[in-house]
Amino acid sequence: PFITSTLQQEASRKLGMELHEAAEASGTTLNYEAAVAGAIPIVRPLRESLVGDQVRQVMGIVNGTTNYVLDQMTTTGMDFEQAVAQAQQKGYAEADPTADVEGYDAAAKAALLASLAFHTRMRGDQVYREGITHITPDDIASAKDLDCVIKLLAVCEGGPEGIVARVHPALLPLSHPLASVSGAYNAVFVEAQEAGRLMFLGPGAGGAPTASAVLSDLVAAAHHRAFGGHAPRES
């Protein structure tokens, strides 16, 4: 889903549910690999490869625009406005970057990841959301003093009290695998009971990477049509 306003967010939520219901009614599979993390194969691993395991946490950088902005602030000393302007010049950010910098896009993706990882359905408006518009050069400098970097993280966890999904800036130690993810790249870190820790890294946006993910869904749909069988559903 691409969300640029409250109205569009509500429309996206309703359309998503309608698509799931239509797929179930027709006995087919709804494929959306390109909806999260661009070229990174994360939807299918969560829905199929790890379906026999118990996922404990999914945490990742799922918005390339915000990662690029924070990376530029960290490596060049730019302030927020300068970094956003450069992201727009390079085509990483739209003319209105609200959906990205306020965390709406990442929240929608976190909802999808939580739905897949914990076999339920979560909406974007159920995800706690905090963007990066308040991050200052002083914050970046303070993070460096602590041997950390600031990243906008999507975190999905399951526990005794239910499923929790949130999107917010976080301090990551430089030793953490996600700390080194630079530019417009995305990365998703999965922790499962038996599989242990898995990390998926790659281009999070762009025409060719997105086309790769879309084509994988088309091939999967063609295979299902020709030979039968459907992927496991979220719930």
Among positive and negative, which fits the CA dihedral 102, 129, 197, 142?
positive
Asked whether the beta carbons of 62 and 52 are under 8 A apart, the reply is: no
- State residue 217's pLDDT score: 76
DSSP, collapsed to helix, strand or coil, labels residue 149 as: strand
**Span 111-131, pLDDT tens digits:** 999 988 998 888 888 999 999
pLDDT in tens, 162-181: 889 999 999 999 999 999 99
Res. 90: pLDDT tops 60: yes
Identify whether 151 is a catalytic site residue.
no
Distances 89 to 26, 72, 148 between C-alpha atoms, Å: 44, 13, 28
Question: Average pLDDT for residues 4-13, to the nearest whole number?
Answer: 44
DSSP 8-state assignment for residue 37: S
Q: Count CB-CB contacts under 10 A for residue 89.
A: 9
Which runs of E-coded beta strand occur in the chain? 55-61, 128-129, 148-159, 162-173, 185-192, 196-203
Q: What is the pLDDT of residues 211-223, one digit of tens each?
A: 887 887 788 778 7
Q: Which position has the higher pLDDT, 56 or 10?
A: 56
Predicted confidence band of residue 7 (pLDDT cuts 50, 70, 90): very low
Instruction: Give the pLDDT of residue 230.
Output: 60
The active-site residue out of 14, 90, 109, 151 is 109
Do residues 129 and 102 touch, judged by C-beta distance below 8 A?
A: yes
